[in-house]
């Protein structure tokens, strides 16, 4: 009977593996999973070797990425050399090495529940397979096909909101990306949230057109149906993408990040550990907060990195490596910001994730003498490619995106639908307003998320938001000139356009962002880079 299991897999199947291990642990199996057990202070290859030797069964998640990995290959070959048990978990049907074709297998491409039941049965008692391992053919859970169909409907609906630019850019190719498992969950979620708002504004467009042209009931009804369909299908798709089945299907960038919820271990006097925080000047605020917490619990700060027993390496866009030696020191990578160029030395160590906000500093200080408990409490599954921000930064990001969707979209509507009514000078002003708003919004978001450039400080972002407000007011004045032109040339009295609704979007966004800011003020100070 199997009790100790070694998981061999590719990080591309992280969502599937993470859920499967939870199910195995619920059945009291001891599972060796790299990012849950790789402890700082010992070379990762030595720990993997020990994990292989201590396990009696390896579960090999079969996929193209896994069989192409030299690390995965060395793991299953280790078990073959020792003539230990191997069970193949078929995530994708691929050509297997001849050595693996004789082993037990479970097909997880269809029903996850059925696959689990079969796996638990095999773990209790080995079986002789009646059929060869599937090496060809595409199968996927039913929910994946449902997601593809619903996303195809949403993709069609997004075309009607072409004026928003980014909504169709994200949603139109989504069915294919779901099929390929490589969509970005954060971007898709933002586009799905914006879609019904964009459709609602389209309703105002049709209402305005019907007020100035021959009344077209079908157009008005179509716009209303478009709004309802966008709202309903967008919510359904979001619900599907957040389901456990889709979280198992997607690659790391397509799954929801798990946030830490540190508990107070109530250790007032932990064993003192000499520590060193390795950081660049831009991340000084977070470093100072961490140092203060460690000193608060009696840990001495080493004068240089070589003298420290524990090293905390703050990783951001400004730093991707450390001089610490994992073979001799406890090394804790702390992810401050998404960085896709993290060194190989750090990529194999479970990190602490501060991207959603700096949390659990007291927990770090209290559990420092017990790195296994520390990383179990604060470690995150490795999804460094995912774009993750603190609540305040996320609120500002979405506020600017939504404001840009409305403002830029309305400008495009004016330029394309009212060009024959607008005076040339007003047409040019609309075009200039569009360019300025698009450029300013782009650079604010870019600086805010990358922590680089002109808008990499709170005051610069606030000034940029004020600039967006002024451009919005300018467009409102131009809207008045448009209404006057319509009244003069067409004899129609039009006293509004949907540009007026930007004011409400702006005020609501300021209010919501302000409330989130008040609850998470420290996140702002820790996010923006320190200035020399």
- pLDDT at residue number 495: 45
In degrees and rounded to multiples of 5, residue 528 shows phi and psi of: -70, 135
pLDDT in tens, the chain (532 residues): 668 999 999 988 989 999 999 999 999 999 998 877 777 666 677 788 888 888 889 999 999 999 999 889 998 998 888 888 899 999 999 999 998 988 899 999 989 999 999 999 999 888 777 777 888 888 888 999 999 999 999 999 999 888 777 889 999 999 999 999 989 888 898 899 888 878 877 666 555 555 444 445 566 677 778 889 999 999 999 999 999 999 999 888 888 876 666 777 889 899 999 999 999 999 999 999 999 999 999 999 999 999 999 999 999 999 999 999 887 888 888 989 988 888 877 876 778 889 888 888 999 999 999 988 887 777 666 665 677 888 889 889 888 888 887 777 777 767 776 666 667 777 788 888 888 998 999 999 999 999 999 999 999 999 999 999 898 888 878 777 776 666 666 555 544 454 556 677 778 888 888 888 888 888 888 999 998 7
Longest CA–CA span in the chain (Å) reads: 89
* Secondary-structure class of domain 4-124 per CATH: alpha beta
- What are the percentages of helix, strand and coil residues in the chain, rounded to 5? 60, 10, 30
- pLDDT at residue number 502: 66
- pLDDT at residue number 136: 83
Tens-place pLDDT, residues 266-285: 898 999 999 999 999 999 99
- pLDDT at residue number 170: 94
- pLDDT at residue number 384: 55
Confidence (pTM): 0.80
- pLDDT at residue number 487: 61
Please report, rounded to a whole number, the percentage of residues in the chain having pLDDT higher than 90: 41
User: In Å, what is the CA distance from 17 to each residue of 33, 34, 87, 186?
Assistant: 9, 11, 14, 21
Query: 275-378 in CATH: which number?
Result: 3.40.50.10140
SS (H, E, C) 63-126: CHHHHHCHHHHHHHHHHHHCCCEEEEEECCCCCCCHHHCCCEEEECCCCHHHHHHHHHHHHHCC
CA distance 419 to 324: 63
- pLDDT at residue number 238: 95
Tens-place pLDDT, residues 24-47: 999 999 999 887 777 766 667 778
CA distance 158 to 170: 9
- pLDDT at residue number 492: 53
CA distance 483 to 490: 10
In degrees and rounded to multiples of 5, residue 303 shows phi and psi of: -75, -30
CA distance 135 to 408: 50
CA-based angle 432:438:441, to the nearest 5?
A: 135
Torsion-angle region of residue 28: left (phi > 0), alpha (psi -120 to 50) or beta? left
List, in sequence order, the alpha helices (H) in 352-495: 361-367, 371-378, 391-417, 424-450, 458-490
CA distance 414 to 247: 41
Tens-place pLDDT, residues 452-507: 999 999 999 999 999 998 988 888 787 777 766 666 665 555 444 545 566 777 78
- pLDDT at residue number 373: 83
């Amino acid at each position: 009977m199997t009790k100790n299991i070694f998981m061999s897999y590719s990080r591309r199947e992280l969502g599937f593996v993470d859920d499967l291990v939870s199910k195995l642990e619920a059945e009291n199996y001891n599972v060796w999973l790299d990012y849950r057990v790789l402890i700082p202070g010992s070379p990762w290859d030595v720990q993997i070797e020990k994990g292989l030797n201590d396990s009696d069964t390896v579960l090999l998640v079969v996929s193209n990425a896994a069989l192409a990995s030299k690390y995965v290959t060395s793991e299953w070959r280790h078990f073959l050399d020792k003539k230990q048990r191997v069970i193949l978990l078929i995530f994708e049907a691929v050509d297997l090495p001849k050595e693996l074709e004789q082993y037990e297998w479970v097909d997880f491409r269809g029903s996850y529940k059925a696959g689990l039941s079969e796996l638990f049965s095999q773990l209790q008692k080995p079986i002789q397979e009646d059929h060869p391992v599937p090496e060809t053919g595409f199968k996927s859970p039913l929910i994946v096909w449902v997601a593809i169909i619903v996303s195809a409907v949403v993709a069609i609906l997004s075309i009607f909101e072409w004026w928003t630019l980014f909504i169709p850019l994200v949603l139109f190719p989504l069915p294919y990306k779901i099929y390929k498992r490589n969509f970005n969950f954060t971007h898709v979620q933002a586009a799905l949230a914006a879609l019904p708002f964009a459709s609602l504004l389209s309703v105002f467009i049709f209402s305005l057109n019907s007020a100035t042209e021959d009344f077209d009931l079908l157009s008005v009804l179509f716009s209303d149906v478009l709004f309802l369909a966008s709202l309903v299908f967008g919510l359904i798709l979001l619900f599907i993408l957040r389901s456990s089945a889709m979280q198992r299907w997607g690659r790391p960038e397509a799954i929801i990040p798990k946030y830490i919820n540190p508990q107070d271990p109530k250790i007032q006097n932990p064993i003192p550990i000499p520590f060193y925080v390795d950081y660049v000047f831009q991340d000084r605020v977070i470093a100072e907060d961490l140092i203060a917490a460690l000193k608060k619990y009696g840990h001495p700060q080493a004068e240089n990195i070589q003298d420290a027993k524990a090293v905390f390496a703050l990783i951001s866009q400004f730093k991707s490596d450390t001089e610490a030696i994992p073979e001799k020191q406890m090394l804790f990578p702390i992810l401050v910001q998404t960085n896709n160029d993290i060194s190989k030395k750090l990529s194999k160590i479970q990190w602490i994730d501060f991207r959603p906000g700096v949390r659990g500093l007291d927990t770090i200080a209290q559990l420092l003498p017990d790195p296994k408990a520390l990383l179990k409490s604060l470690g995150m599954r490795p999804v460094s490619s995912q774009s993750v921000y603190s609540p305040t930064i996320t609120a500002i990001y979405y506020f600017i995106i939504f404001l840009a969707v409305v403002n830029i979209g309305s400008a495009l509507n004016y330029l394309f639908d009212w060009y024959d009514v607008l005076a040339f000078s007003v047409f040019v002003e609309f075009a200039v307003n569009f360019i300025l708003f698009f450029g300013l919004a782009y650079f604010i978001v870019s600086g805010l998320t990358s922590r680089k450039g002109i808008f990499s400080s709170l005051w610069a972002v606030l000034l940029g938001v004020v600039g967006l407000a002024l451009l919005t007011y300018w467009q409102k004045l131009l809207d008045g000139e448009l209404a006057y032109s319509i009244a003069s040339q067409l004899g129609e009295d039009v006293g509004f356009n949907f540009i007026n609704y930007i004011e409400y979007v702006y005020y609501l966004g300021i209010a919501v962002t302000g409330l989130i800011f008040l609850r998470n003020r420290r996140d702002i100070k820790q996010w923006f880079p320190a200035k020399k």
